[in-house]
Amino acid sequence: MRTKTTYTLKEPLKFKQQLLQWSKQFEEIAWLDSNNYHQDYGEFDALLAAGAFTAIKTDSHQAFAKLQEYQQTTKDWIFGYLSYDLKNDVERLSSKKYDGLDFPDLYFFQPQKLFLLKGDQLEVRYLRMLDDEIEEDFTEISNLPINKVEIRQPETENSESKIQARISKEEYLQKVEKMLAYIQRGDIYEANFCLEFFAENREIEPFKVFQDLNELSGPPFATFLKLEEHYLLSASPERYLKKSGSKLISQPIKGTARRSQNPEEDIEIAEELSNDPKEQSENVMIVDLVRNDLSKIAKKASVNVDELCKVYSFKQVHQMISTVSAELDDGIPPVEALRATFPMGSMTGAPKISAMKIIEELEETKRGLYSGAVGYFTPNGDFDFNVVIRSILYNSVKKYVSFSVGGAITAASKPEKEYEECLLKAAAMRQALKNSSSSPFLNERE
């Protein structure tokens, strides 16, 4: 049982900054921030889970079964991630590409300390606390000065520490042409194709980079995750799947356009995206895939498209988003709802299994946590998970930094435009990492 205390905050935004700063002392941190972005299905403005009381980490073998046992045994709040490569647990697939990050395929923990923020209301829920521990922590957090993080530069700079593309632009265009050949042959209708940017022997200050990335993007599913030496700094705008009671909500994104500082031009860009037949067809294909996935675990005739191809605006980009809902069938465990729909349609393609096989063939690196999901379970089995996109991944022991970007390839795709969209999506991560170093930033190997 958790001990619960509630506070009314005088300065919620300031307290959020203090809370994240205070969390640095812990080996396990999950910070989820909506950035006060208006959304219909948000439960909290921000969540902090800190310090592992128990944890589970595993490779993909029987990962969902292990997670189900862990979730049903703890019957508590648990926070963590599902990597893309759990596809190998769901289907007869494999992941044999290079992995510079070396994250476990699945990692969840039961936090000792939990903070739930909504408006000016703060709930604090601790496990096995000492006398007055909540009050002492609250006082310490409230009195923290908000300091700008000092960036520690490596003593020497070398070419290895620069961010570079895993493949050149020319190689990317050739691979997209191969994917188009699979589409023309009828093997797939659509597939998500990604490329990695990486740096070896690179040190970053994860909190600083996350703060910069979050400030640049302001997305509704921002995440700072620290699990030992593994870090995720995510500015994700996309919800994968949410369960509230028996209701399931999925909000796939397909369709991206740049923002403009000129208000009139910005409106025009959003309208063009809204009316673009290629972007609409991409989105509709993924909506059909999500509907099919949800139908496996939903009550009959309960799957519904609540909103189709609506354009939402974020700081960096306009996005085309759809909302699909369903009623979870009786007797189906919460983890099974994730297993039946994983990996998410927006990061795979249609048909899903064929698309994942082609992705494995053509991409150069193991996706790992990129295009997986981060989120939490509540004690009663509700959950909410994002899609890990627009994210920086970092292994502080290996000093390996990585971010990947991609897009949906369809019969109407033009390779050059797909590459331009990748660079557009990469802009915020590039800028956040550039802010963390005085060294030249990117070598695209062109």
pLDDT at 256 over 60: yes
Position 93 scores a pLDDT of 97
Q: At residue 159, does pLDDT exceed 80? A: no
In a domain, 324, yes or no: yes
Q: For 191-248, how does the pLDDT look when each residue is reduced to its tens digit (9 = 90+)?
A: 999 999 999 999 999 999 999 999 999 999 999 999 999 999 999 999 999 999 999 9
Does a structural domain hold residue 228? yes
pLDDT at 146: 82
Q: Which amino acid is residue 274, in one-letter code?
A: S
Percent of the chain at pLDDT above 70? 94
Using CA atoms, how far residue 138 sits from 3, 18, 306, 436, in Å, is: 14, 10, 41, 31
Question: What is the share, in percent, of the chain residues with pLDDT greater than 90?
Answer: 90
SS3 345: helix
Is 254 a known active-site residue? yes
Beta carbons of 405 and 127 less than 8 angstroms apart:
no
Number of structural domains, the chain?
1
Which is catalytic among the residues 238, 360, 363, 418?
Answer: 238
Tokens of 224: 């700072």
Give the per-residue pLDDT at 25: 96
In this structure, are residues 399 and 200 in contact, taking their beta carbons and an 8 Å threshold? yes
Q: Please give the pLDDT value at position 298.
A: 98
- The pLDDT, as a whole number, for residue 42 is 86
* Residue 151, in any domain of the structure: no
pLDDT of residue 148: 58
- pTM exceeding 0.85: yes
| Pairing of β 442-443 and β 163-165 | parallel
In a domain, 209, yes or no: yes
Beta bridge partners of 386: 239
Q: CA 283, CA 318: separation in Å to the nearest integer?
A: 14
* Structural domain for 115, as ranges: 2-146+161-443
Provide the pLDDT confidence category of residue 26 given band limits of 50, 70 and 90.
very high
Residue 129's pLDDT is what? 85
Kindly tell me if the per-residue pLDDT of 30 is higher than 60.
yes
What does DSSP say about strands 317-327 and 230-236: parallel, antiparallel, or unpaired? unpaired
Residue 303 in any domain: the answer is yes
Amino acid in position 196? E
Q: Is the pLDDT of residue 184 over 80?
A: yes
CA distance linking residue 82 with residue 286, whole number of Å: 20
Mean per-residue pLDDT over the chain, rounded: 93
184 inside domain:
yes
Residue 153 has pLDDT above 50, yes or no: no
| pLDDT of residue 54 exceeding 90 | yes
pLDDT digits (tens, 9 = 90+) for 297-356: 999 999 999 999 999 999 999 999 999 999 999 999 999 999 999 999 999 999 999 999
Task: Give me the catalytic one of 113, 175, 226, 254.
Answer: 254
Strand partners, 374: 81
pLDDT of 389 > 60? The answer is: yes
Closest CA to 239 of 380, 105, 123, 345: 345
Bridge partners, 312 (sequence order): 319
pLDDT category of residue 437 using cuts at 50, 70 and 90: low
Whether residue 323 lies inside any domain: the answer is: yes
Tens digit of each residue's pLDDT (9 = 90 or more) over 69-85: 999 999 999 999 999 99
- Report the CATH number that the domain containing residue 211 is assigned in CATH: 3.60.120.10
Helices (H) and strands (E) in the chain, counts: 11, 21
Rounded to whole angstroms, the Cα distance separating 306 from 324 reads 6
Banded pLDDT at 161 (limits 50, 70, 90): low
* DSSP state, residue 117: E
**Within a domain: residue 153?**
no
Which contiguous run of DSSP H or E holds residue 108? Answer: strand 106-118
